[in-house]
Amino acid sequence: MEQADLSTEASADVHHQATLLRAWDQKYTQLRSGGFTGSVSTLRNGGVKLFREQMNRAVFQMGALPATKLGFGLPVRAAGRSYICGEEGNGHSLLVFSGRSGFEFLSPDDFEFYGIEIDTSASASDDPVFLAMVRTLEDVITSSSRAIRLDAARLGKLGRLLGATLSEEGIGDRLQTWPDHAAAFNRGLVGWILDMLQAAPPESDNPPMRHWDTITAVRQLVSQSSSCPSSVAELTVELGVSRRTLQNACQEIVGLSPVQYLRALRLSEARRMMEQSRSVTEVATQFGFWHLSYFARDYHAMFGELPSKTLERVRTCQA
């Protein structure tokens, strides 16, 4: 096994943040106004990767992991509710991101998350016991819900273990210093998680999915339609839902009015398109911002910089 590698990358842009977990093929949308700050600390230890992700703004995440990657984790700090594929997740839940259908995840403001990514391929380890445990873990996780409710005390211990492992002077530092312990740590971690999961209570009490399909449909309409909707009235016609249904869905899931949610999606897509465009006007128009002064105002309020500044920075990076 190669020596463990501990590193931290910081980000001041939500779209850059989405790239920091290399294998996750993610797309992020910032939902709350204000400058974005985030970071990802990663410990690679053979076939296991542990990470801590921190973000100050509410973010809608969409992505998928390769078939050979098992990804899950737990929130350790959040200023609001989170949802994984429509299921509410909290400090007592293990959130599962693996699966053929990919994932959709809503994280609130001031969010901190400890994650675990495991390579399930036969080449990931030469320890047959570890590989057998990983296979069992994969079976257990993929047969459960996306938000697995666990005993709070056990989950708290797991959070403290991961936190200590990812600290610069914690377990991670010792794994780098003593590589002979790396394989034993991986086996112990997977075994501990299996013990928790196999002792977990039935999950029939999970709250029902409500309004998630509506929220997803709005996002898809904005990001995939050749004609981006710019009003709530247009959304209700496109989606075939009432204004009240749309209002209830947005308030229930993202804590925003339909107008605020639609504006956040359009602004995020506009910011993403800055990397492919030569003109602020072109981008604004594409997403229905016909008054450029209003677009600049809303864009600055959301991201902490004017769209012209974003375009200038993108051009400098591409030069």
For the chain, where do the domains classified as CATH 2.60.120.10 start and end?
A: 5-198
What pTM does this model have? 0.84
**pLDDT digit string (tens) for the chain, length 319 residues:** 556 688 999 999 999 999 999 889 999 999 999 999 999 999 988 889 999 999 999 999 999 999 999 999 999 999 999 999 999 987 789 999 998 899 999 999 999 999 999 999 988 788 888 888 899 999 989 888 999 998 888 888 888 888 888 876 666 666 666 556 777 788 888 988 888 887 654 444 443 367 899 999 999 999 886 778 888 988 988 888 888 999 999 999 999 999 999 999 999 999 999 888 878 988 988 888 888 899 999 999 999 999 999 999 888 887 6
Fold assignment, 212-318: Arc Repressor Mutant, subunit A (1.10.10)
Q: What residues contact residue 236 under an 8 Å CB cut-off, 6+ apart?
A: 242, 243, 246
State residue 318's pLDDT score: 73
State residue 205's pLDDT score: 43
Question: What are 63's two structure tokens?
Answer: 């992505």
The helix (H) or strand (E) run that includes residue 42 is strand 38-45
β-pairing verdict for 87-89 and 59-63: unpaired
- Measured over the CA atoms of residue 247, residue 249, residue 252 and residue 258, the dihedral's sign is negative
CA terminus-to-terminus distance, the chain: 40
Q: Are 55 and 29 in contact (CB under 8 A)?
A: no
Please give the C-alpha separations between residue 18 and each of 164, 199, 311, in angstroms, as whole numbers: 24, 34, 19
Buried b (16+ CB within 10 A) or exposed e, 182-220: bbebbbebbeebbebbeebeeeeeeeeeebbebbbbbbe
For the chain, where do the domains classified as CATH 1.10.10.60 start and end?
A: 212-318
Nearest CA among 100, 96, 77 for reference residue 85: 96
Fold assignment, 5-198: Jelly Rolls (2.60.120)
